């Protein structure tokens, strides 16, 4: 998977590229690359005459945090993509990293996207219900706050209807299985269409 990401990052990007900057949920941990939701999103966009020009670039790296995304964003932006969909934060939460640090990293990522002239898009994520309610609330609140600060469209949760559903996840109950990725691709596609309009 890392080799695939490395290959995608050296391909020449175009002004119609949508870069999905994420972690294992985006990279497609545990499934084939063509079963990960960015690849399925590409299929949906290509099938629609109004969005056929968009190319989805999967810049997901398993284990990545918002700090890792911040380290990688300039390299991605150097190729001048049209939009960057930021899907990070899950590993920050699972590792118990400070929410203030996560917010600062996301702020800097979105600011750099905007400064480069690309459209910033943001996905939220929710912590498992096994985490304390207060911690979960503090974590979840970061995403709408960052989106509002940058006037960026927000998908409230990347895993709506998928998280913690046994039949939609691998045995670890964290990473989606192929059917889970299909559900994610469908909801991302429906949410994304208005934000890809010229």
Residues designated as active site? 24, 172, 175
Q: According to the 3-state scheme, what is the secondary structure of 88-150?
A: CCHHHHHCCCCHHHHHHHHHHHHHHHHHCCCEEEEECCCCCCCCCHHHHHHHHHHHHHHHHHH
């Amino acid at each position: 998977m890392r080799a695939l990401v490395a290959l995608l990052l050296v391909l020449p990007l175009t002004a119609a590229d949508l870069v999905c900057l994420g972690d294992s949920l985006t990279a497609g941990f545990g499934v084939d690359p063509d079963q990960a939701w960015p690849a399925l999103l590409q299929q949906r966009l290509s099938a629609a005459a109004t969005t056929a020009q968009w190319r989805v670039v999967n810049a997901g790296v398993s284990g990545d945090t918002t700090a890792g995304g911040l380290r990688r964003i300039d390299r991605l932006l150097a190729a001048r993509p049209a939009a960057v969909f930021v899907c990070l934060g899950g590993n920050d939460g699972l590792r118990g990293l400070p929410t203030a640090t996560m917010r600062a990293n996301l702020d800097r990522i979105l600011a750099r996207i905007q400064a480069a002239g690309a459209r910033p898009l943001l996905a939220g994520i929710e912590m498992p219900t096994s985490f304390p309610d207060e911690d979960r609330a503090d974590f979840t609140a970061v995403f709408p706050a960052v989106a509002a600060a940058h006037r960026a469209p927000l998908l409230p949760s990347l895993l709506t209807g998928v998280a913690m559903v046994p039949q939609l996840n691998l045995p670890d109950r964290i990473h989606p299985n192929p059917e889970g990725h299909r559900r994610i691709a469908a909801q991302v596609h429906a949410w994304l269409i208005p934000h890809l309009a010229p």
